Structure 1
Amino acid sequence: MPDNWLGRATPQAIAAFMTLTLLVAAPVYAQAPSGSNPTAQAVSERQLLDELQKIEGRVTLPNTAAGLLEQPQGRDYRTFHEGWLPWIGGIAILGILLLLALFYFYRGRIRTLAPESSVRILRFGALERLTHWMTATAFIILAITGLNFIFGKRLLMPLIGADAFSTWSIWAKYAHDFVAWAFMLGILVMLVTWAWDNLPDRHDAHWLRVGGGFFDKTNRTHPPAGRFNTGQKLIFWAVVLGGIAMSISGIFMLFPFAFADINGMQTAQYIHATVGIILIAVLIAHIYIGTLGMEGAYEAMGSGTVDMNWAKEHHSLWVEGQEAKGTIQPRSAAEAAE
């Protein structure tokens, strides 16, 4: 080849030669190891979370929260809901049932020491009983449907199958959402109706020291108490304060993202679930005392009247106060049954 071929070559020929050379050499360079990881400099998921505290994209949906892909608090909530919450619920509910069973075998049913008299007195009026039973019924429905969210897929779905469980869960959610309003109304009426009678007084410390007389097998320890004894006061304030906490957190969940962002929604669910479990345990104890645990206790909310001797043993200060004010209207047993 002549020495001056490059000088005589046209620019087009030179460009064509260089392009051909690059095409031939490119696969060789591509196969040669570069010694570096092309993704090493890419931003990791962990870096994004540390920097932004969440990972989200852009969406055209009206619900902008749908663009949130990941946030660390969501992992914490999943750990709580799927891990801690079932254990908390199981220990609280099974634990109170075990304690009540042991107490029953130790103490038996708490009987009235004096024989039943022929006089019955009005303890709770019609409005009070209506409020009690409305709130109690609503809470039982809420407890059953609420526990379904925690234990349903673990305990119920294997027994009835996925399709039946899905149908039941849909209706359980509807029941939970609508019955909640009756529960909230009941809590409000109970607060207005019974708050004054449940305020602490100077007899509460003595009642607590003797355990309300519950552990005295001779059945002769009956500490003085007003309309509600200290145990009933504790249950009342647990139900009212817990009910308020559940009502507020429940409203947050009934209207998602109307009052809080996703972190606020998760906090509402923490509160709602935890307080709900505690209230279930408390009211299991309340139901036990009001039915199997104490003779004559159910009649107070059943017919609204109680035997005079029962009232004097368990609520002596209340009886004395009513007698002093002349507000007790004695009625015979036959009259009360009509």
Structure 2
Amino acid sequence: MARVSGLVRTGIVALSLWAAGALAPSSAQMTKDGLNPTGANPTANSVNEEFLFKQEPKIGGRVSIPDQKSANLIQPQGREYRAFREDYLPWIGGIAVLGILGLLATFFLLRGRIPLDDPGPDTGKKILRFNSFERFAHWMTATCFIILSLSGLNYIFGKRLLMPLIGPEAFGALAQWAKYAHLYLAWPFMLGIAIMLVVWVRDNIPEKLDWEWIKAGGGLVGRGHPHARRFNAGQKVVFWMVVGFGAAMSVTGLVMMFPFSVTDINGMQVTQVIHSLIGVVFIAGILAHIYIGSIGMEGAYDAMGSGKVDLGWAKSHHDLWVEEQQAKTASGPQVGKRPVSPHQVPAE
């Protein structure tokens, strides 16, 4: 009886296998587009990677350690950031920096160095333009900005331009020290921005006179110089650029300096995009400022060099400010409580 029962079960299994084989479509029965005769796609319901990437901002699992960020396996938005970082940012940075250098070189060839106009050459008399504290704040901020800019440009172009020249070992050491400089010099840079805002904001409030200065070309084109107070319209633009961009760079820099304290990985990447874009535009703007304050205009460097400028230069570029200062010297010191030197007397 047991033997008969076993034979019956064996027969049932064999019959089932034969029926399954008969019903399953053979390779010859599959159509060229991968569909079986019933029209169904056997992989239609399988998980598609790209579809999954579009549905979720990140793909992760579960971990038992406190750092839950380690559960993230794939972060698809990182591909967009990588494309920006590797493909677009070098082009944007190169166009901004090389473009402004090309424009300044062209302007210098066409215009030359802006000379000292009427009332003539150096008068031999000096007027105090910036005191020692103002110059300290300016040069501290400027020095930090230069190093921050160079270390930031190394982040963009270093491995493309510098590493092939000095080798990976030297470049790695240089990049590490550049990172340290970028992190630590950010603090005095932010302090300098705050000091300049407090010290100079009163003299940089826009007014109707600034529009007249802009319409006249600010002395950069044509001859003569329009009326201006302590800061002309061009200098006010630079001031507010430094304050605005400096504040934006400070905020985004602090977010990256303390990662994941404010936002997640997606926010960190967006923050770095903003930081880098503002940075290259900031560098381009400061290059124009450096040009005007050095080789672009005769006598301009003295303002932040010694702090004293020739009275003739001051009357050419900031005539209304000179009138204010001469009115002050009639009854007291020119700046604060500093005594007026014999060379800081008003011109007759």
Aligned position for 1:277: 280
Indicate yes or no: 2:259 matched with 1:253: no
Distance 1:8 1:182, change over 3 A: closer
Question: 5 Å matches for 1:156-175?
Answer: 156-175=162-181
- Measure how far apart 1:242 and its partner are: 0.3
Question: 5 Å matches for 1:143-182?
Answer: 143-182=149-188
Aligned position for 1:311: 314
Q: Could you list the per-position Cα deviations for residues 298-338 of structure 1 after superposition, in whole angstroms to 9, with x for gaps in the alignment?
A: 1111111111111111111111111223343653569xxxx
Distance 1:82 1:8, change over 3 A: closer
- Gap regions ≥5 residues in structure 1: 1-6
Distance 1:260 1:29, change over 3 A: same
Aligned position for 2:270: 267
Aligned position for 1:93: 97
- Measure how far apart 1:64 and its partner are: 2.3
Candidates 110, 125, 130, aligned match of 1:106:
110
Distance 2:2 2:343 in 1: 131
- Measure how far apart 1:59 and its partner are: 3.4
Aligned position for 2:201: 195
* TM-score normalised according to structure 2 size: 0.85
Distance 1:15 1:302 in 2: 104
Q: Tell me the secondary structure at the aligned position of residue 306 of structure 1.
A: strand
Report which of the two has the higher share of helix: 1
- Measure how far apart 1:68 and its partner are: 2.5
Indicate yes or no: 2:129 matched with 1:123: yes
Indicate yes or no: 2:138 matched with 1:132: yes
Aligned position for 1:4: none
Distance 2:90 2:252 in 1: 20
Distance 2:68 2:62 in 1: 8
Equivalent pair of 1:118/1:332 in contact (CA under 8 Å): no
- Measure how far apart 1:164 and its partner are: 1.5
1:302 is aligned with what amino acid?
G
Distance 1:67 1:298 in 2: 56
1:102 is aligned with what amino acid?
T
Distance 1:170 1:61 in 2: 30
Candidates 140, 143, 147, aligned match of 1:141:
147
Identity percentage of aligned residues: 53
Aligned position for 1:3: none
Candidates 225, 230, 233, aligned match of 1:227:
230
**More moved, 172-181 vs 42-51:** 42-51
Distance 2:257 2:143 in 1: 20
Equivalent pair of 1:121/1:331 in contact (CA under 8 Å): no
Candidates 296, 301, 304, aligned match of 2:304:
301
Distance 2:104 2:342 in 1: 35
Q: Tell me the secondary structure at the aligned position of residue 258 of structure 1.
A: coil
Equivalent pair of 1:120/1:331 in contact (CA under 8 Å): no
Q: Could you list the per-position Cα deviations for residues 64-98 of structure 1 after superposition, in whole angstroms to 9, with x for gaps in the alignment?
A: 22332334432222222112211111111111111
**More moved, 302-311 vs 244-253:** 302-311
Distance 1:38 1:164, change over 3 A: farther
Distance 2:23 2:63 in 1: 42
Q: Could you list the per-position Cα deviations for residues 90-140 of structure 1 after superposition, in whole angstroms to 9, with x for gaps in the alignment?
A: 111111111111111111111212121222111111111111000000000
Indicate yes or no: 2:12 matched with 1:9: no
Distance 2:228 2:257 in 1: 41
Aligned position for 1:43: 47
Candidates 68, 71, 86, aligned match of 2:72:
68
- Measure how far apart 1:261 and its partner are: 1.3
Distance 2:72 2:224 in 1: 61
Distance 1:37 1:148 in 2: 52
Q: Could you list the per-position Cα deviations for residues 202-253 of structure 1 after superposition, in whole angstroms to 9, with x for gaps in the alignment?
A: 210111011101112xxx4111111111100000100100000000000010
**More moved, 45-54 vs 59-68:** 59-68
Distance 1:304 1:8, change over 3 A: closer
Q: Tell me the secondary structure at the aligned position of residue 208 of structure 2.
A: coil
- Measure how far apart 1:295 and its partner are: 1.2
Distance 1:242 1:96 in 2: 18
1:45 is aligned with what amino acid?
E
Q: Could you list the per-position Cα deviations for residues 262-292 of structure 1 after superposition, in whole angstroms to 9, with x for gaps in the alignment?
A: 2211221121001100110011011111111
Indicate yes or no: 2:325 matched with 1:331: no
Q: Could you list the per-position Cα deviations for residues 25-45 of structure 1 after superposition, in whole angstroms to 9, with x for gaps in the alignment?
A: 999999965858765422111
Aligned position for 2:33: none
1:200 is aligned with what amino acid?
P
**More moved, 257-266 vs 128-137:** 257-266
- Measure how far apart 1:151 and its partner are: 0.6
Distance 1:264 1:98, change over 3 A: same
2:129 is aligned with what amino acid?
R
2:301 is aligned with what amino acid?
Y
